[in-house]
Structure 1
Amino acid sequence: MAANSMVMLMICIFAFIPLLLAEIARNRSLPTIADFFLQGRGLNIFPMYATVFATWMSAFAFMGAISYFYEQGPIYMTTIGWDALFAVLFYGLGRRIWFYGKCRGYVTPADFFDDIYGSRALSLTVTGITIVFTMIYVQVQMVGGLFLIQIATEGYISWQVSGLIFFAILVIYLWAGGLRAVALTDMFYGALIIITILGCGVFLMRTAGGMEEMFLAVVAHDVSHVTLGGEEGPARIGLWLTLFLVVPVGAFMGPQMWIRNFSAGSVKHFELLPLLLCASSIICIGTLFAGSASILLNENSAGGDTLIASLMLRYAPPLLCAFVFIGIAAAILSTANSQIHGLAAIYTIDIHKKYVNPKVTERNLLSVAKWSVLLISIAAYILILVIPQSVFSLGVVALGGSMQLIVPVLGALFWKRSAARGALFGLWSGILAFFLTAALTSFETSYCAVLGLVVNGLVFITISLLCRGDKTTSEKIQAYRDSFFTHLK
């Protein structure tokens, strides 16, 4: 009973702080769409880093990572490479996307494609891809957290109620302050994520006998647990390489990261942000320790996405256990809040304003944005109830689909021969190849995603060459590139 009371108290404190920050954000907010979705394009470097980092460090990177260490060996340590590529994408592509968005008023990914390629079919396709795969990734966060509070309170709060608690917190502070509230809460969530991942890793490592004893025991148990390929050895090289592409590129192409790029206050942010993101990779030590310790502490027991929760309940004192649980919840909410915010932007700008009511006023559009946060959250909760899957596998599906957008983005930024038809048919071909190979073969999901990317790229290049490009698109690509380099000077 005492342990339950401690956990309940920690959960209440954790739930209250984002609501307090939301009130601060509400008092600073302006009643405009630009402020609600982009914070007036004036996001400072530290809040930008905090919200990018907290969004990047999802349940996929916390609960899924530790269970993956337990089941597959240290393959997840290649995430340091993911972090590096993710950081490079902000420098190589993010600052260009920021500049284009600032000059031309982009809010969503579809704005970028619609402006450069000028194709309604392509814009609708991009909107559909971002909605479908972002909704799947929202589910990744909540699947990771559905049973968290139920486990923490030993069944006192059911998983259905815990899901409602998570969504209620999200809706309240998103409604209150939009991106401004997201950035403030992500500073809080990010600090919790760093402390809890490192803290639970060190605690479990010490519980397993200390660093040296733990790794000696793991090696004695099965040396494959400390070799990068795990039990399958070199056969896993393909998995390392495909995940290296799928995870960072897929995350970067999500609408939440487009919004982060559009919101930056200065191009200089994109010079410091990659360094901060790479430095943040230190937290992978926490997942390494926790995953390795679980091999010894959870021997002959089931793993799965609730592994870390069950270990902490078994070995940790109530206060530490409750603290780790709210750290996991922070990882879940810090990504889900940005995704729901991004989906609200897509509905408001790409669907409602373009097709439902093109003459809508700014005030009414802001109201639509806030109500869409609530409706999207309800839809996401319903999906959670009907499509349960593991955090890691579902995350790869979501990221593999979003990753397909990188092909027409690269074309729009760097290749004058790019054509709207090439982009459109490339995306459809890539998505189709991805789903067919995932459904009809036994390949790893990440292999299927990369195969889809290759098909996407080949179709894009071939059709663009056959169409001989488009004069208007070509002129825009060249003009935008020239203006970007002029701005840098």
Structure 2
Amino acid sequence: MNAVTIQLSIIVGYLLLALAVGLVAYRLTDRTAEDFYLASRTLGTVVLLFTTFATLLSAFTFFAGPNVAYAQGPEWILVMGLMDGIIFAILWYVIGYKQWLLGQRYGYVTLGEMLGDRFGSPYLRGLVAGVSLLWLFPYVMLQQVGAGTALEALTEGAISYAAGAGLITAFMILYVVAAGMRGIAWTDTLQGVFMLVTTWVALLWVLSAVGGPGAATEALASNPDTAGFLSLGSDYYTVNWILSTAITIGFGVAMFPQVNQRFFAAGSKTVLKRTFALWPVLCVLLFVPSFMLGAWAAGLAVAVPEGANVLPLVLAEYTPTWFAALVIAGAMAAMMSSSDSMLLSGSSYFTRDLYRPFVERDLSDRREDLIARGGVVLFATAAFLGSLLRPAGLFELGEAAFSGFAQLALPVLLALYWRSITRAGITAGILASQGFYLSSLFLAVVPGSYAGWTAGIVGMGLGLVVTVAVSLVTSPAAEERRAIYFDRLGAD
């Protein structure tokens, strides 16, 4: 059996296993929108922790992250492995717990529902959904771009980029449409454990082949091009850049639809407390080995062609064919576990926050369930077609999505905790920060950096100032329900 056949057998076999888990979950799924989107709000600690973990560990983690560490050094671990783990854990409690309480009381399924009810505005609800779908689209594409490039590199072109991206898209559609949140949560748990184990085994295998961590680090130090990787600070890893990136990614994660909805899905307050406490530990356990593999590869003279991903090439160089395929299957699992949740959440935002308020108000549960499953197919197909254009690199796509979602975070935080915020204030804040950040991406006249601070962090500050200022000079609309976020909500 040749190498390509072995690789394909392992990868397809793993994808079929994930599909089988999803189909088992389908048999236990109620045909209601709440069960499809939130597994009837019954997720326990292990499943909630790993489904959130696997949902975030995407092509950005397995390919873009090691690529940055390969090119610029391992300080990327400080941003994604440590700072973001802590920032998101804090936000999980500050935002997530309040959302969970509100979801228990009022039955909210989406962030747009929660805000639209508080401010008495279907248009605000639609705005939040529209912004979320805008940034969700490139992040789904990122997974398909990652899958296509990984399979193309692993099989040395035997599987084309388009075929690899199409393969993962087809499997995602199959089990998301069939299983909903319950199936996704189960497969995410399987995939999260699988990713964690294979990444550490990959690290130990490569280090064993090169003589251990000391030898790998010495190779970095003796190479004039990478000697600076062993000291903190560089022209790339400036303090301003590190803080900007860590903050926008951490706050952006809290606003990702597939993450934010999991705040509503926890089975109890205890589940939430345990999961956010364990979150930073999981981040360190995964990001350290994957990013260090990328950094050490720079000193090991692994040839990485322009635009290629370093991780598959390191594995191909130092591990057997079957194991390299197994780790890439883990990376594919990461991409699937991100994309499946994104497709489900994107479908819920479209169905509940755009279709229901503006097209068909009297939507039955059964009909909403059917529309949601159809929305998954349409969204995945559109993202796949977009991925064929290869619009940008993995890091650029991921960074744009994180920073775009981060623009929502501070207005939402104010809405949850500041009684004086008004409908006009939160609407103006969202529009101002989104308009500014989009302009920084597409208009040359708006810089992408300000004295080393990224446009993403500047946009967040602008949104905060506008939200507060407009709220202070406007009166609440008659339809606003100002008390519902501050009534005694209870707990378990």
Identify the TM-score tier after normalising by the shorter chain: over 0.9
- The answer (yes or no) to whether the contact 1:108–1:346 under 8 Å persists in 2 is yes
- The answer (yes or no) to whether the contact 1:298–1:311 under 8 Å persists in 2 is no
- The answer (yes or no) to whether the contact 1:202–1:289 under 8 Å persists in 2 is no
**Aligned match of 1:443:** 449
Structure 2 unmatched ranges of 5 or more: none
Partners of 2:41 and 2:382 lie apart in 1 by: 29
The 5 Å alignment of 1:262-301 reads: 262-280=264-282, 281-298=284-301, 301=304
Partners of 1:298 and 1:255 lie apart in 2 by: 40
**Aligned match of 1:68:** 68
| Paired residue secondary structure (1:292) | helix
Partners of 1:307 and 1:219 lie apart in 2 by: 19
- The answer (yes or no) to whether the contact 2:404–2:456 under 8 Å persists in 1 is yes
**Aligned match of 1:13:** 13
Partners of 1:411 and 1:17 lie apart in 2 by: 43
1:70-102 Cα deviation digits (max 9, x unpaired): 111122111211011111111121011011112
**1:387 deviation in Å?**
4.3
**1:302 deviation in Å?**
3.4
The 5 Å alignment of 1:192-341 reads: 192-221=194-223, 222-230=226-234, 232=235, 236-280=238-282, 281-298=284-301, 301-302=304-305, 304-341=307-344
Partners of 2:363 and 2:144 lie apart in 1 by: 33
| Paired residue secondary structure (2:328) | helix
**Aligned match of 2:485:** 480
Is structure 2 residue 418 aligned with structure 1 residue 412?
no
Q: CA RMSD in A?
A: 2.0
| Paired residue secondary structure (1:480) | coil
Partners of 2:216 and 2:268 lie apart in 1 by: 46
Is structure 2 residue 33 aligned with structure 1 residue 29?
no
1:382-415 Cα deviation digits (max 9, x unpaired): 1112243111121110011111111221121111
Aligned length: 483
**Aligned match of 1:138:** 140
* Identity across the alignment (%): 25
Aligned-partner residue type, residue 119 of structure 2: Y
Partners of 1:190 and 1:373 lie apart in 2 by: 22
**1:268 deviation in Å?**
1.2
Partners of 2:275 and 2:89 lie apart in 1 by: 7
Structure 1 unmatched ranges of 5 or more: none
| Paired residue secondary structure (1:483) | coil
Aligned-partner residue type, residue 461 of structure 1: V
Is structure 2 residue 108 aligned with structure 1 residue 106?
yes
**Aligned match of 2:193:** 191
| Paired residue secondary structure (1:298) | coil
Q: Specify whether residues 301 and 11 from structure 1 end up closer, same or farther in structure 2 by C-alpha distance, changes over 3 A only.
A: closer
1:33-69 Cα deviation digits (max 9, x unpaired): 1111111111112111110000121111121111111
**1:473 deviation in Å?**
4.1
- The answer (yes or no) to whether the contact 1:208–1:293 under 8 Å persists in 2 is no
Partners of 2:166 and 2:302 lie apart in 1 by: 34
Partners of 2:70 and 2:51 lie apart in 1 by: 29
Q: Specify whether residues 7 and 122 from structure 1 end up closer, same or farther in structure 2 by C-alpha distance, changes over 3 A only.
A: same
**Aligned match of 2:435:** 432
- The answer (yes or no) to whether the contact 1:143–1:391 under 8 Å persists in 2 is yes
Aligned-partner residue type, residue 450 of structure 1: I
Is structure 2 residue 462 aligned with structure 1 residue 460?
no
**Aligned match of 2:169:** 167
Q: Specify whether residues 108 and 465 from structure 1 end up closer, same or farther in structure 2 by C-alpha distance, changes over 3 A only.
A: same
- The answer (yes or no) to whether the contact 1:59–1:144 under 8 Å persists in 2 is yes
**Aligned match of 1:153:** 155
**1:361 deviation in Å?**
2.0
Partners of 1:303 and 1:446 lie apart in 2 by: 28
1:416-458 Cα deviation digits (max 9, x unpaired): 1101111111111111222333443252897111111011111
| Paired residue secondary structure (2:108) | coil
TM-score (norm 1): 0.94
| Paired residue secondary structure (2:31) | coil
Q: Specify whether residues 297 and 54 from structure 1 end up closer, same or farther in structure 2 by C-alpha distance, changes over 3 A only.
A: same
- The answer (yes or no) to whether the contact 1:174–1:337 under 8 Å persists in 2 is yes
| Paired residue secondary structure (1:156) | coil
Aligned-partner residue type, residue 239 of structure 2: I
Larger CA deviation: 298-307 vs 241-250? 298-307
**Aligned match of 1:360:** 363
Q: Specify whether residues 204 and 446 from structure 1 end up closer, same or farther in structure 2 by C-alpha distance, changes over 3 A only.
A: farther
Aligned-partner residue type, residue 390 of structure 1: G
1:124-180 Cα deviation digits (max 9, x unpaired): 221111000011111121221112222222222222121121111111111111001
- The answer (yes or no) to whether the contact 1:396–1:446 under 8 Å persists in 2 is no
Q: Specify whether residues 295 and 357 from structure 1 end up closer, same or farther in structure 2 by C-alpha distance, changes over 3 A only.
A: same
Q: Specify whether residues 446 and 302 from structure 1 end up closer, same or farther in structure 2 by C-alpha distance, changes over 3 A only.
A: farther
Aligned-partner residue type, residue 449 of structure 2: F
- Bigger proportion of residues as helix: 1
- The answer (yes or no) to whether the contact 2:253–2:402 under 8 Å persists in 1 is yes
Aligned-partner residue type, residue 335 of structure 2: I
- The answer (yes or no) to whether the contact 1:417–1:474 under 8 Å persists in 2 is no
Q: Specify whether residues 469 and 364 from structure 1 end up closer, same or farther in structure 2 by C-alpha distance, changes over 3 A only.
A: closer
**Aligned match of 1:82:** 84
**Aligned match of 2:99:** 97
**Aligned match of 1:125:** 127
Q: Specify whether residues 197 and 446 from structure 1 end up closer, same or farther in structure 2 by C-alpha distance, changes over 3 A only.
A: farther
| Paired residue secondary structure (2:388) | helix
Partners of 2:232 and 2:147 lie apart in 1 by: 28
